[in-house]
Amino acid sequence: MQRNRSDERDVIFSRMGMNIEEQKAYYARHPEKKEIDGELRASSWDKPMGDSMGYKLFDAFENSHDDMQDIIASLSYNMTPKCDPICDDATRLTRAINDIMPMFGVEAWGITKLNEENYYSYHGRGKYKNEPVDSSYPYAIVFLTSMNKDMINRAPRFETMLATLKGYTDVGLIGLQLANYINHVGYRADNNMTTRYKVVLPPLGEKAGLGSVGRHGLMVTKQWGSRVRLGAVLTDMPLVPNENKAFDITAFCSQCGLCARCCPGKAIDVGQKPETGWKISDTDCYRIWMAVGTDCGICLSACPLTQGVDNKLLDNIEDESVINEILRVHKEKYGLRTFIKEELGFLKD
């Protein structure tokens, strides 16, 4: 049953967090990953800002957001319905969700039906690490928040990480509020966030009509390009899925390839999309993160849609002449990619 499902323990962040016993068990199953993972584990992260005051103030932001995510995760365990269901009409309940989502500050969302393959097979992190994932929820409400463009355009520096950490906290908090609301309507709800992922988010976001998964393996949206953070709440509340495809980025990615060209780790596939899909080398990516001492994020800023593309062009993004026009304008305005050199004030010494 779990053969079609990704194992969260294969994700690089799970692998890097394994204790000795877990490593023994994992590399017995995956001997091909032992050497490279050992090499990465033995290396240390660079500290390009040293122990400067700017770094200490950044580090405080990182620690505060790690704390926030721990708090949200701990509140997200053991959430149960507060009453018997007060309504079982899927249309009425869907209308309630659609009216309430903007009040949580959500910029875009979609409802989709969950299949077995949307779920991870085993947890790789958090309280349920190494336990099978409960795949009993039939629906997901998938949502996103945008990340600050000026911070993403400073990649690969600390500013990008400020934006991504804030994004993780935002979607965690939104998910907690939404799951709690669903509990008060009388249904089960699970806040799918950082250390307690049950589902693989980018393909689920695509299925929920939020955008399309790009060459870099991340969600690309019409409005914010790649600078988005996804969250999801899984539930057994009866809902009406809205699985209208937003758009298909495949043809555009085939011509563009800017994320792959700009990736300092050569971690992103070049060329046409293979049948099995474009692949990212998580180890080559992680190595760059260690070298720059923070989340890299260059692929997010390199994506032309992140910088904004005329809506009329986006409506025909699969058309070859439109693709060429978007790429021509992007090149004229930004060259290979945008990069804001100016450091954020509080990071300067």
Please give the residue ranges that form the binding site for ligand SF4 (CB under 6 A). 214-216, 220, 226, 249, 252-253, 256-259, 263-265, 267-268, 280, 285, 288, 296-299, 302-304
Rounded to whole angstroms, the maximal C-alpha distance in the chain is: 59
User: Least Å distance between CB 156 and ligand SF4?
Assistant: 6
User: Least Å distance between CB 187 and ligand SF4?
Assistant: 36
- The beta-strand segments (E) located in the chain are 108-113, 139-146, 189-192, 212-213, 219-220, 228-235
User: Least Å distance between CB 283 and ligand SF4?
Assistant: 10
How many beta carbons lie within 10 A of that of residue 46, not counting itself? 12
Q: CB nearest ligand SF4: which residue?
A: 214
User: Least Å distance between CB 98 and ligand SF4?
Assistant: 29
Choose between 190 and 282: whose C-beta lies nearer to ligand SF4.
Answer: 282
Choose between 214 and 241: whose C-beta lies nearer to ligand SF4.
Answer: 214
DSSP letters, 226-267, are T-EEEEEEEE-S------------HHHHHHH-HHHHH-TT--
Choose between 173 and 305: whose C-beta lies nearer to ligand SF4.
Answer: 305
User: Least Å distance between CB 317 and ligand SF4?
Assistant: 9
φ, ψ at 49 (rounded to 5°): -100, 5
Choose between 2 and 281: whose C-beta lies nearer to ligand SF4.
Answer: 281
Choose between 162 and 285: whose C-beta lies nearer to ligand SF4.
Answer: 285
Contact call for residues 103 and 73 (beta carbons, < 8 A): no
The distance in angstroms from the start CA to the end CA of the chain is: 55
Choose between 134 and 320: whose C-beta lies nearer to ligand SF4.
Answer: 320
User: Least Å distance between CB 110 and ligand SF4?
Assistant: 20
